[in-house]
Structure 1
């Protein structure tokens, strides 16, 4: 499709135009608010464990259910976004998140908290994969940085919300904090979603013959590539989950306190913001696969640093390095989907791959807790993460070697 045709189809909006950048800003804000569902439970985990009198593995279950809901939501909501746009799905998801947070605050047991976190995970999903898919349709030349920017809201949330949740727990307790978060999400997300009513230029009135085509070709069927991305997503995120899910508990075990762990998590995710934006910039130049491969190798090396360095200052430094290494990995999957697979299926396909990464986070968060219960330390959990990271690197190398040629730039 030519830019002129895209302009007409998009009701005056062009790819990479002013509305596209405005839309990206709204998506980043939505991601910052909506992604609280992923990070609040990480900070709450030690307090809930004490409140319910359960083991570390059992206390990790609510986080695991959060990620299960997040995985399901990315696929289901992504499918609806392909068909009706983002406004209605995000609105419904905001209500689901609010109900989940209020229910979490009232939970009488760890199992009920886990059930509430399942709802929170589903609602949170609307402000991650579906927004990346939507933004990817509004950009051509700067698609990598746009997708990474949309995903950055998730890490901005991880930088800000642990501080807010820690303050809420200190002053009001974790239960009241959960209820307050739910109400805040409801009254902010729905009005912001109304700014996203416009439909993408390439999806309004374009025929199959003029729709943009994938940027790269590969000697694999779409289904085979999808499955490889699923395996890679699980592998990288089992590795990624160890520090992200357990850094607060790890610091508490070492005697540094929950607050220091929350600070490290915020530092890790702040570095991840830089990494995500930088990865988007790099992906626009060398492609998503090579960019993801670089991030995955660096993630494995940074995980290795956690094993010998457990001093307070060392953990701050290693957490910062880890954030710089892994922050850009997950958005690269959305970029790869757009580079290799049909754009009209972006919402569902990106949702499926994001689901795989979240399954990896859920599996890794649970495995790390179980390994800790068995061994009494997190050293073996870090080694487990490194092994899964090797799987991710291997898959991405396979995809890179099967890529045949780059298409001409879009008309």
Structure 2
């Protein structure tokens, strides 16, 4: 049995790597392609940002289906389909010439790539009945690596190969790595599941209410989060800083996010998942607008890791909260629904940042809107924390 449980850490490593590759491309990897596509085709910033939004809408819609499917289908099959779709769609983007082609390709990549998020997080949590916060934090840290590393690598590949060559390289690497990694995945030992079920405490509030509450909150949370993720590189470029240097700032921010995801996962094990989620959300909300007040590269380098460490706890907090407040029998499905709204929030935030840039000629309004969304999210999470604490104090039926 100990050998089987050791394989849980293999699952964590595989999940982290797959999330790095897939989510690094679908969540914010397109940010370094904004300026090259604008120069090549003359498209507006909002139109180009909508490519990223199309992928995130695909993630949202696919997340519901893939999450439900993962509760009934071997995890290996779901993730294999997701890895193939992401790699093929990004490869085909190298030959696209029309906006609708980019929209369609990234929408399809998102729909099937959704099988690489909620199902992976759910299976990681299933392998660790105790201490799931740390395991999920480590797995989701892979996404932070990808969200920093993929744009950084993309910027250098664009410089060396052009934007078409960069898309081609990313697609080929995705196929070469995601497919064999998917074959390593498997569900936890069946013998461990009854014991886990016996020790699982009844949820303090209705799981349906939890899904609805978190779904509303996460739209606003991710609308706040996505603006710097998608627009930080072009914001820095507007100060006459190169795309490579701007991408390094994003990379530094997301390397700090690795520590933040693990730290907030451990914090969730100590103070509770909702409290950890609220703490990270407050950190993100207070800090996000400060990016518009920085004008030099040194300032961006100094502030990026401060923001990155705190903002990173948001996704870990959400995932651990969803796991703690939903029953195991429908956990992947519940996560799929909640994450659908998360991706819609990501798409909304990234799109509004581009549209307000086109309307105002700068990013001040877009980042201010992000901060406002963060404030409402903090209020909602505060209400959820109070509801959970009241539910735990209430007498439980025999």
Deviation at 1:120, TM superposition (A): 2.2
Return the match for 1:318 from 276, 300, 303: 303
Any gaps of 5 or more consecutive residues in structure 1?
A: 1-6
Equivalent position to 2:156, from 167, 176, 179? 167
Partner of 2:224: 239
RMSD of aligned residue pairs (Cα, Å): 2.1
Other-structure match for 1:391: 376
Contact 1:75 1:348 in 2 (8 A): yes
The residue aligned with 1:62 is: 51
Are residues 1:27 and 2:20 paired?
A: no
CA distance in structure 2 between the partners assigned to 1:203 and 1:175 by the alignment: 48
1:377 is paired with a residue of what secondary structure?
coil
**Corresponding residue for 2:257?**
272
- Which residue of the partner structure matches residue 402 of structure 1? 387
Matched residues in 2 for 1:308 and 1:166: separation?
24
- TM-score normalised over the length of structure 2: 0.93
| Contact persistence 2:281–2:377 (CA under 8 A) | yes
Give deviations 1:130-182, integer Å, cap 9, x for gaps: 21111001112210011111111111112222222112111111112212222
Kept in 1, the 8 Å contact 2:16–2:141? The answer is: yes
* Compared CA separation, residues 20 and 328, structure 1 to 2 (3 A): same
Aligned partners of 1:186, 1:258: CA distance in 2, in Å?
26
- Structure 1 or 2: larger helix share? 2
CA distance in 2, matches of 1:33, 1:241: 18
Once residues 388 and 21 of structure 1 are traced to their aligned partners in structure 2, the CA distance between those partners, rounded to angstroms, is 36
| Distance (Å, rounded) in 1 between the aligned partners of 2:293 and 2:235 | 14
What is the number of residues matched between the two proteins? 391
Q: Is the 8 A contact 1:215 1:339 kept in 2?
A: no
Structure 1 residue 399, shift from structure 2 partner: 0.8
Whole-angstrom distance in 2 between the partners of 1:240 and 1:137:
28
Find 2:101's aligned residue among 106, 112, 123.
Answer: 112
> What is the deviation of 1:197?
2.7
* TM-score between both structures, scaled by the size of structure 1: 0.90
- In structure 2, distance between residues paired with 1:350 and 1:331: 13
The aligned counterpart of 1:327 is 312
- Establish whether residue 378 from structure 1 lines up as the match of residue 378 from structure 2: no
Equivalent of 2:32, from 43, 58, 69?
Answer: 43
1:203 to partner: Cα distance: 8.0
* DSSP 3-state at the match of 2:368: helix
SS in 2 for 1:126: helix
Per the alignment, residue 246 of structure 2 pairs with 261
Contact conserved, 1:141 with 1:284, CA < 8 A, in 2? no
